[in-house]
Amino acid sequence: MNKKVIWITGASTGIGKELANEFSKAGYTVVVSGRRKSRLVKIVSEIKYAEREAAAFVCNVMSERSIMATSKRIREKYGKIDVLINNAGVTVFKSLMDTKTVDFDTVLDTNLRGAFLCIKSVLPQMIKNKKGQIINILSVAANTAFENSAAYAASKAGLLALSNSLREEVRNLNIKVSNILPGAVETPMWDSKSRQKYKHRMMSATDIAKIVVSVAEQPRKVLIEDITIRPIKGDI
Ligand SMILES: NC(=O)c1ccc[n+]([C@@H]2O[C@H](COP(=O)([O-])OP(=O)(O)OC[C@H]3O[C@@H](n4cnc5c(N)ncnc54)[C@H](OP(=O)(O)O)[C@@H]3O)[C@@H](O)[C@H]2O)c1
């Protein structure tokens, strides 16, 4: 197995789906995960139709057991995971007062705890092999203030801090940790009204996916640590 194996979480739609397509075109063996099996199966069958290798696993990143089982199944199937992309994410567009405890917990458990657990599931093998790459899909909300985004911003700022700390722990082991901070991207994360209103100002998921491929494709000694990608007309 010479091809690099990449695990993309939350790949049913949006940025994750385009990451799967672009990494497949770049020659990677692509593993997509998420909760909606039918969407994942469709993505894999399209990749396989182009005679490239891919697999889908149902994985809920709010569940430690689901993450650990998925990571194990990928390693059993392909023998390794070279690159992990923590892409699975949810948001609530609500003021802090309107954010219910359950909203807060869902956003933090998916975006921050889920990424933490996925990293823990792949890191032992990367440490043993002294190589690997972890790419976290954050958001400009990690370091830019927006109204009605307190839980989402907290989750992304938390993951930025976690990621920066992890990078210092593993960079001497040739394990690369990269943060991608996109501004508005036209995906199902936005409701249809906002997508219609701001479509002309939003970036496409393919735009982001192509940049992430270039982050993964740097020479061995080069690490892109953080990339902020904004629409030309700025934030929405
Ligand atoms: N769109 C933007 O403007 C924008 C900007 C900056 C950053 N981002 C980030 O980009 C990432 C992808 O978002 P997107 O814009 O592409 O939105 P999206 O189309 O809604 O994709 C989110 C993905 O996350 C998965 N997901 C949600 N909860 C999950 C869970 N508990 N377990 C496993 N998978 C889960 C969903 O799949 P299932 O429902 O099938 O599980 C879906 O595939 C997110 O981290 C988001 O914060 C988006």
Instruction: State pLDDT tens for residues 121-174.
Output: 999 999 999 999 999 999 999 999 999 999 999 999 999 999 999 999 999 999
Name the nearest CA neighbour of 33 among 53, 13, 10, 63: 10
Q: Is the CB of 139 under 6 A from ligand 1?
A: yes
The pLDDT value given to residue 196:
97
Q: Is the CB of 8 under 6 A from ligand 1?
A: no
The pLDDT value given to residue 93:
96
Q: Is the CB of 90 under 6 A from ligand 1?
A: yes
Distance from the alpha carbon of residue 41 to the mean position of ligand 1, in angstroms: 17
Q: Is the CB of 185 under 6 A from ligand 1?
A: yes
Q: 73 φ, ψ to 5°?
A: -65, -35
Q: pLDDT tens-digit profile of 45-73? A: 999 999 999 999 999 999 999 999 999 99
The pLDDT value given to residue 151:
98
Is the pLDDT at 110 greater than 80, yes or no?
yes
Locate 57 and state its tokens: 């696993």
CA distance 185 to 81: 27
The residue contributing the CA closest to ligand 1 atom 32 is 60
Distance from the alpha carbon of residue 160 to the mean position of ligand 1, in angstroms: 17
The residue contributing the CA closest to ligand 1 atom 39 is 35
The residue contributing the CA closest to ligand 1 atom 19 is 14
CA distance 180 to 73: 27
The residue contributing the CA closest to ligand 1 atom 46 is 89
Distance from the alpha carbon of residue 16 to the mean position of ligand 1, in angstroms: 7
Beta bridge partners of 29: 5
The pLDDT value given to residue 233:
97
The pLDDT value given to residue 2:
73
Q: Is the CB of 14 under 6 A from ligand 1?
A: yes
The model's confidence at residue 1, banded by pLDDT at 50, 70 and 90, is low
CATH class of 5-229: alpha beta
CA 99 to chain centroid, in Å, comes to 24
Chain-wide mean pLDDT for the chain?
98
Distance from the alpha carbon of residue 140 to the mean position of ligand 1, in angstroms: 15
CA distance 125 to 177: 15
- pTM > 0.75: yes or no: yes
Q: pLDDT tens-digit profile of 225-236? A: 999 999 999 999
Is the pLDDT at 19 greater than 70, yes or no?
yes
**What Rg value do the Cα atoms of the chain yield, rounded?**
17
Burial of 215 (0-12, 13-18, 19+ CB in 10 A): buried
Residue spans of alpha helices (H) in the chain: 14-25, 37-49, 64-78, 101-108, 114-129, 150-170, 192-198, 205-216
Provide CB contacts within 8 A for 169, sequence distance 6+. none
Classify 55 in phi/psi space as left (phi over 0), alpha (psi -120 to 50) or beta: beta
In whole angstroms, how far apart are CA 59 and each of 71, 110, 146, 231? 9, 12, 30, 31
The residue contributing the CA closest to ligand 1 atom 23 is 10
